Chain A
């Protein structure tokens, strides 16, 4: 009954509540947009990072010389698939970590920061999200044919190379000997962020250039999907592997990992890194941005709520005769208070809904823009476009906070209004 009364009061006095509704809607729109953009940015970063590093979690084996060395990664992969979790994707990778590799074409030479040997068939889904300007993934080549490589847009631009061109790769073998090879550019991928400073090629080919057997690897990449929690996955892997192998403690960052690897002597050691640890610095940055944005939102909401308190005070003062009538016909104080609070909650709910819908429209418009020309944006976008993630739990949490805040703001004026004496209210002597 009081729900009907409250709803009717709002609908009949829409003009009175319009400013308050507008303020709440604007505030909720802002909250939704900021949360969605930051969550989307983080997801975009994670997706690129999983491909660039080695999945949501990576398993590395260090030998007694503290060098990465996985002689038979496939054996461990079989074990993980049968005993740990068959639903995950495990892929051996050879990651060339030294900074001395270069690519040359037509007299131009560039340093190639990172060289990745992958099994493209195994990781077809991982690479399905990689956008190409031209060409595509490398194909298997026969012995004697020129192997293929995919390079980034920036590398292609600096080398003045394109799909089909032959470029020369320089690197050193695992024993420190210099080696070179001609490679054909199979494709140029569009990745302008720091995750673009990489070239990908077939793992067996890279192993050969490094003078290692085709089955050798440096890492096992574990892919669990963008919705997974990398830290929890890595912790589970760590628990499982430490039962059978000497395993180093889990690091929280790459710097910490470096110290752990070199802190002790061992015959071999298994090391597990979660994607969160790889991204610790980027996540710190995003969390800082999120923190600052939440501070701004809280300040804004506080200002809105102060406005709501004052506006509600005025509204309820103007409705004094109405309140007097309600009280005179038998409406108790608590019931009157309930009606006013419910009005506030309904107003907040529908205003938030309007703000949410407006946020969707604005996010849609923002998503249509291409931010390729903004250099930093490449890290947080997908093919130049903002990646938007609407998390229902976060939206519901924000709605809950707004409802609570508005009800608290309306509580004071509502309590005061509910205490009005009917006779005095009807005489309008307050």
Chain B
């Protein structure tokens, strides 16, 4: 091993033989190509994705709340449906993205109201837009790329700027590990203020795609001074029971959401 470390080209050859080549180690990969790779590894364009999400929000100072939901995603049509399972007071609520409109369903009044992509999901640090498929390559232009070590990962840090006024965060930084997966993401406001830091410690493989095992989001816009220290709102999302079973088209309809909410 030491001999390989002394001769990097030998290391690369060894890695190639094992099938693992750092994405950005491939000769000539540009930031744009890396961004395309990032999207391709986590988008499911050939099938549907369903999974169980547990969202734990911890307020600065300690109070926490937990929401569990089932999520169905159809990336090729940019659709998703989220059904809230708990807590009891929110059970039956749902979100449906169809086209550019995001609907929020209230089972009490049996009404659909349109909501915004940038709105908080169930009052947590997650945003409704976080459940969309990954479209960094479509919505952002990489303006720079640099190497940086993040914990145990050697990463390429991509600095992205929104191509239009559509993305909620005009500027984003992505820490992309050698396997092409995002390990950390920082979202910035229009004025350049850091809004959120999201960490993706580990992923689970589904076929040739990946989804995170968990995501930890620090919201820098919600804070409190506790015992002399500034604490930020933290949301932890745990994703379990993923499935790539195809789903019927009627799942992504208001009628279905209304029916299952009962």
Contacts and interface: CB of A to CB of B under 8 A. Distances in A.
8 contacts: A107-B223, A168-B193, A172-B168, A173-B190, A175-B166, A176-B117, A178-B195, A180-B193
Given A177-B169, A178-B168, 4 more contacts: A100-B119, A104-B223, A168-B193, A177-B165
Interface string B158-173: 0000100111111000
B189 interface: yes
B224 interface: yes
| Max chain B Cβ within 10 angstroms of own Cβ: one of A108, A178, A179, A180 | A178
Nearest to B117: A176
Interface string A161-178: 000000010101101111
A102 interface: yes
B149 interface: no
Contacts of B191: 179-181
B205 interface: no
A179 B120 CA distance: 15
A295 B76 CA distance: 68
A107 B167 CA distance: 27
A109 B224 contact: yes
A106 interface: yes
Interface string B220-239: 01111100001000000000
Contact of A211 (B118, B166, B190, B224): B190
B116 A177 contact: no
A175 B189 contact: no
Q: Is the interface of B mostly helix, strand, loop or mixed?
A: loop
B208 to A, nearest CB: 33
Interface residues of A, number: 19
A179 B225 contact: no
Contacts of B189: 170, 177-180
Nearest to A106: B225
Interface residues of B, number: 24
B250 to A, nearest CB: 27
Interface in B165-192: 165-170, 187, 189-191
A180 B223 CA distance: 15
A344 B168 CA distance: 77
A183 to B, nearest CB: 12
B221 A109 contact: yes
Nearest to B118: A176
Contacts of B190: 173, 177-180, 211
A340 to B, nearest CB: 66
Which 4 A-B pairs have CB atoms at the shortest separation, nearest pair first?
Answer: A107-B225, A175-B165, A180-B193, A107-B230
B179 to A, nearest CB: 30
A173 B165 contact: yes
B221 A104 contact: yes
B145 to A, nearest CB: 23
Contacts of B166: 175-176
A170 B223 CA distance: 12
Contact of B222 (A106, A109, A173): A109
B163 to A, nearest CB: 12
A107 B117 contact: no
Given A176-B116, A177-B118, A108 B223 contact: yes
Contacts of A211: 165, 190
B52 to A, nearest CB: 28
A109 B219 CA distance: 11
A69 to B, nearest CB: 15
B193 A108 contact: no
Contacts of A170: 189, 195, 221
Nearest to A181: B191
Nearest to A104: B223
| Max chain A Cβ within 10 angstroms of own Cβ: one of B120, B167, B187, B189 | B189
Interface in B79-129: 116-120
Nearest to B233: A109
Contacts of A100: 118-120
Contacts of A109: 221-224
Nearest to A111: B222
A102 B225 contact: no
A168 B193 CA distance: 10
A253 B222 CA distance: 34
Contacts of A104: 221, 223
Nearest to B187: A178
A398 B190 CA distance: 62
A142 B33 CA distance: 43
Contacts of A173: 165, 190
B68 to A, nearest CB: 24
Contacts of A168: 193
A176 B168 contact: yes
Nearest to A174: B165
Contacts of B168: 172, 176-178
Interface string A311-346: 000000000000000000000000000000000000
Contacts of A175: 165-166
A173 B170 CA distance: 11
Nearest to A98: B116
Contacts of A106: 225
A410 to B, nearest CB: 60
A191 B221 CA distance: 26
Contacts of A172: 116, 118, 168
A424 B170 CA distance: 104
A275 B250 CA distance: 46
A176 B167 CA distance: 8
Interface string B14-55: 000000000000000000000000000000000000000000
A109 B222 CA distance: 6
A269 to B, nearest CB: 18
Interface string A216-252: 0000000000000000000000000000000000000
Nearest to A102: B221
| Max chain B Cβ within 10 angstroms of own Cβ: one of A106, A176, A177 | A177
Contacts of B187: 178
Contacts of B162: 177
A180 to B, nearest CB: 4
Contacts of B165: 173, 175-177, 211
A270 B165 CA distance: 27
A108 B224 contact: yes
A211 B190 CA distance: 9
